[in-house]
Chain A
Amino acid sequence: MTVLQHYYTSCAGKGFQTNAMSKSLDKDTARVLEEKGVYIPPVSFPSQPTLEEIQKFPVSLSFFSLPGDRWSVMQSVYLGKDYSGRYGNYFSHSLVTENYESDFPHCLPIQLWKSPIWVSKESAQTDLPPFEGTIPDLSITWNDVFNFLGAGDRLSKLGQMITTVLNLSKNRHPIILVDTNQNIVLWIAAITFCLPYEIGKKVTFCTYNKNPYSLNVMICGTTTDSDFHFSQQEYNFQYTIFQFEENTFSPEKPVHPYAIIVLNSLKNRDSGAFERFSVFYKEVISKVPESAEELYHIYLLNSVIKGAVLSEKEWTDLLSFLRSYNFIDRNPQVLKFVIDQMSKTSFRSSDLVLQSLDFYQAVVRKGIQTDVTQIATKSALQTIFEYWPHAGEAEIARIRNAIQGMDFNPLKGTYAPKGTGLLHTLSSYESQRSLLRFLTDIKFILPDSPETGDIMDTVILPHIMEKDTQQFFLDLLKTEFHDPAMNSLGRYVANRQDDESVLSVISALVADDKIYTGFTTFAIKNNHLRLYRLLYKLRITPGKEVDQFLTYYSILSKFIIPSKISELNLVYTITWKDKDPTYPEVTRIIETLTDDDLELCDFSAKLAGILFKNVNLTNIPDTIRPVFEKIQKIGKFTNVQASLINLFSELRDLSDDNESSYHRIFKDIMGPSFNTYPDKQGEILEYLFRKIIISTTNPSIHEQFVKILVEVYDKDAPVHSAYRKGFTNDLMMSGHQAKLLADGFRIWDQYYTSGKIIPGAITDFLFTIYKDATNDMDRKKMRMSEKVRDLLVDPRVKQRYELYREKTEEKGLSSIFQGIFRKK
């Protein structure tokens, strides 16, 4: 590389201008160098100094950047008089380089202080050759720095200075140094020596300038009487001022961690540590962006690689750094060292543990090298197992997140037993559950593992009443762990006697229909009738009881159980609890259940009762008849019911002339044993009356019973009602309606006219009779009425009948009756 040169001074006869410069130095750069090369001596220094005095003037060595990635090191010295004898002359010699490090190897810019390379005499030639001289012995060494810092409180001030330089990119508070020129140089040397060379060589500075505002450097030395204002605002907010002459300083800032490290090393006067770190830093920054802010982290990295023990805070900082800047991508070998050290360290802070896992994950995700990935995975797992007992819910969530993308399978052989072992040692169920979830996630526990069932039984099911566990369990059911989970649940249910508590568990689990179906299937498959019954109990739907019951009945055959009947009795009770099945439900149940089952079940009698109650014995529908007969066959009707049924059967088969039997049956029916079945009494009575009313072979039997009705049961409305229904039904069904009506009129007429019946008791009957016989203007009925009249033999009866007809045609029926009875 070429180092270009530039001289600026008041030239003989011409005044201030570029005296000479390297040919290839452009004019713009020359102009900038002229601007930066201006030297104004401190006001307090002699205005017309002697040569001796001039030697004491501050030398300005400055180092700054130029456009185009170039750097300039410049020395400006005061010369005193110019060619004309006027004071104010100075000489600025600049060196411009594009690659400082190669042009000035192993030499920080500040070490060029008062170097023999600097020129301060006008050149006779305007063209300067590029600088090719060698750097002689450096004027400032570590020893100078150690000696300088050893005095007073300089170390702590240095800490502040290094902190300021490292924070410059953030807070932009350049350093203003007011001290002797020599001390300023040593301060700058101390700062840059303590930084890695890669950073130190980029710290811009100026050892003296009367107007620090005119420069844009990180460190500027000046004097108390300079143009710098030293305002409070500048002290506090805009600069970091170290005014050693007046002992005033900007407020102290928290010392940068790197500065703390530096100060410790300085106390040991160990310059080698800095030099070695510089070498390491250079290696590292070739892989990450250069940043003074990260210096501390790189130092930590260096320490780790050398086997130093870091504090947790330092680990936190280091890991955070390593994850940035694609460091992981580019430094696999360094990473191995770091991970190795991490695995030997037990982190106590949750944040750090989690951060380390994030780090391992980042390493694994990068997949840089197989061996690095492997050790990262192993370390991650080891960390997880160590940390698990202390992890809370949030931390576990983060762990789960951090392991995504990691393949633990290769570690299964060694670590799966450790994981399951840990599972049983955890005192907190939350930890257990989450560890179990973790172990299943990473497939350390598989559905067919021998220990799976035991883990389910001991870890999950005891907590199945807890919501989180239930969710976990349900999640398991959706995975390949369905069967072991179900089996465990089955065992759990089987071992618990308290149905209610079991119910509350499974009710929470089967909110999902799919799960419910799965459960029932499981129960059937595993002959787990109790579980099946409990599931059944959970889902009894009003209106669908019989369907569910019959389904249960049908599925019951799939279970191998000691007593089907007691199960049926139990399920019947569960299904209908405090109510009874409806008549249609009863018929379906009886229809579906086998004779044997019906015969044995307790509830069969109940079903028989409901059936009996709802069936009209005198007119059992064909569809119901088999059901009725089934119950009858297995003898599930009560004695009374059976007697009633028998009475009806006898009556049904009785011939008209068997008067005594009619009277006996009538007497039986009216007996007290059937009072509990008044409906059935009424039905049979009606049937009996129908038979005698319609009897053609033995007309007297009708008269006999009417007589009984009028004389014995004149106040028994149900009996009269049965008669009326029987008469009406006969009338409807018979082909001899006129005769029936005529007979009725004839038989009853005598009792009306004799006044032997209470009108009220028989009104309904008469109403029906006369309405049908006389009180209808319908032509057909008219003819019927005439037929009735013709059938009446007794002239007096016939006459009364006519009278009724006439009246009926003229007036309402009730008035007719009233008229009749009044006449009477």
Chain B
Amino acid sequence: MSKFICPYCFNEKETNDILFRCINPIASECSLEEDKPFSDYWDFHPPKVMNHIINSNTSMFSQKSKSALCPICRTKTTKMICPSCHNSLPFTTGELKDYNISLIGAKDAGKSVYIAVLLNALAQRIGMNLNASLVALNDETIKRYREQFYQPLFQKKELLKATGAAGVSQKTPLLYRFGFEKKNFFGQRSNEVVTLVFFDTAGERLDDEKVMARETKYISNSSGIIFLLDPLQIPAVRDRLPPDIPLPPIQTQPEEIVTRVVNLIREDKQIPEKERIKTPVALVFSKIDALRSLFPPDSMLQQSSPHESVLDISDCERVSSEMLAYLYDWIGPNLNNIMQHHFEHFSYFGVSSLGEPPTGGKLSDAVSSHRIEDPFLWLLWKNNLIQGVRKKR
């Protein structure tokens, strides 16, 4: 029986448990009722009154129906809702495999900007390389991406507004259908379509384990975690940078956040201490454009990303090794030790979302991202969605 992960509450459920919501807008024809799970999710008090919820009564052996008939008004509905939180599910639920990509990191690590740039790159350059298409699954995703990410960053060339730690944006994921061409071992091509769920977490939420626990499901049910580290918040780095580089306030230490994430996943998934967590983690140093002066000219981080339709594993390994060396230098071995102890798959990356540091909240030029796709492609490879090769240099 197939399962899915709700992109709102991140509970894993059987597709057969999916509920439907009647779409008859005429209240006199179909009764409205208080929806407590939905209201609890959105903190509505008193509970919001919504359309009738329909159980499609699918047997355990039959395929999940894509529609249901309202027993009250006989209206046919295709509006699927999560059996836990009663939020609307993407129409692909149950059809496509869901890949939740968690993006976590301390405040000001550049998570929103990274998402904004990555999604734009996926829709354009990376998409072209992978022969892939990225389609938003709902209007909210389109509108939100356009208003909160694309327009300020790509059109107005302004730094994104601070992500609120609460509210709708913190409860509404960005949902995409990502279709791409996949080659098997023998080079045969096939089309693969997956659902990508991005959750732009406010950095503030990761400062408190109790607050972060609300995102437990989201992180522990992820197919991959992008853990964004802001090198400009590392004192050793700050000391070495030229004085004209604007520095953000120092936030939570990366080890602290990683430790919280580890604890959350272990607790939620009941993974014993002696076992390592299998979720691949990309530890990504952001804003490396500001560190260029610290990298030697032959640094892998000075070079463009070589990945095209496949992942260049060698490149990833070399970047990871180099970043690890810097990590040791900047903050010591502790973070890597933690990663090695707890995670089976992890790799270090260095990215620049904007290409250059903003000045006064504005970009002086167009967005010119650097190695933005590396962590994402690595996660796709780790999830067997794309091929990885070792290219010779």
Contact = CB atoms under 8 A, between A and B. Distances in A.
A15 B168 contact: no
Given A88-B164, A233-B25, A15 B202 contact: yes
B197 to A, nearest CB: 20
Interface string A74-97: 000000011111111100000000
A87 B167 contact: no
A313 interface: no
Contacts of B161: 47, 86-88
A38 B168 contact: yes
A35 B27 contact: no
Interface string A144-186: 0000000000000000000000000001100000000000000
A48 B43 contact: no
A66 B168 contact: no
Contact of B165 (A34, A64, A172): A34
Contacts of A114: none
Interface in B147-172: 147, 151-152, 156, 158-169
Contacts of B163: 16, 88
Contact of A84 (B108, B151, B156, B164): B108
B376 interface: no
Interface residues on B, range: 35 or more
B11 interface: no
Nearest to B161: A88
Interface string B195-234: 0000000111001000000000000000000000000000
B245 to A, nearest CB: 14
B147 A16 contact: no
Interface residues of A, number: 45
B1 interface: no
B262 to A, nearest CB: 23
B167 A38 contact: yes
Interface string A5-19: 000101011111100
A16 B27 contact: no
B43 A86 contact: no
Contact of A38 (B45, B159, B164, B251): B164
A43 interface: yes
B32 interface: yes
Contact of A17 (B32, B143, B165, B248): B165
B156 A47 contact: yes
Contact of A15 (B48, B169, B204): B204
B43 A36 contact: yes
B42 interface: yes
Given A86-B159, A216-B45, A229 B139 contact: yes
Given A37-B166, A87-B161, A216-B44, A238 B25 contact: yes
B156 A16 contact: no
B165 A84 contact: no
Contacts of A238: 25
A654 interface: no
B39 interface: yes
A171 B45 contact: no
A211 interface: yes
Contacts of A214: 42, 167-168
A237 interface: yes
Interface in B359-378: 360-362
A87 B159 contact: yes
A172 B49 contact: yes
B249 interface: yes
Contact of B45 (A37, A65, A86): A65
Nearest to A225: B147
Contact of B204 (A14, A86, A172): A14
Nearest to A237: B25
A48 B166 contact: no
A67 interface: yes
B161 to A, nearest CB: 3
B45 A15 contact: no
B253 to A, nearest CB: 14
Contact of B162 (A67, A89, A227, A229): A89
Given A14-B204, A36-B43, A211 B25 contact: no
B52 interface: no
Interface in B10-53: 25-27, 32, 39, 42-49
14 contacts: A14-B107, A15-B162, A16-B204, A35-B43, A47-B161, A67-B45, A84-B248, A86-B161, A87-B159, A172-B49, A216-B44, A216-B48, A227-B143, A229-B139
Interface of A: 8, 10, 12-17, 31-32, 34-38, 40, 43, 47-48, 64-67, 81-89, 171-172, 211, 213-216, 227, 229, 233, 236-238
What are the 9 A-B residue pairs with the smallest beta carbon separation, nearest first? A88-B161, A38-B167, A237-B25, A15-B204, A216-B44, A16-B165, A34-B166, A88-B162, A15-B107
Given A84-B108, A88-B161, 10 more contacts: A15-B108, A15-B251, A43-B151, A84-B162, A86-B161, A88-B162, A88-B163, A89-B162, A236-B25, A237-B26
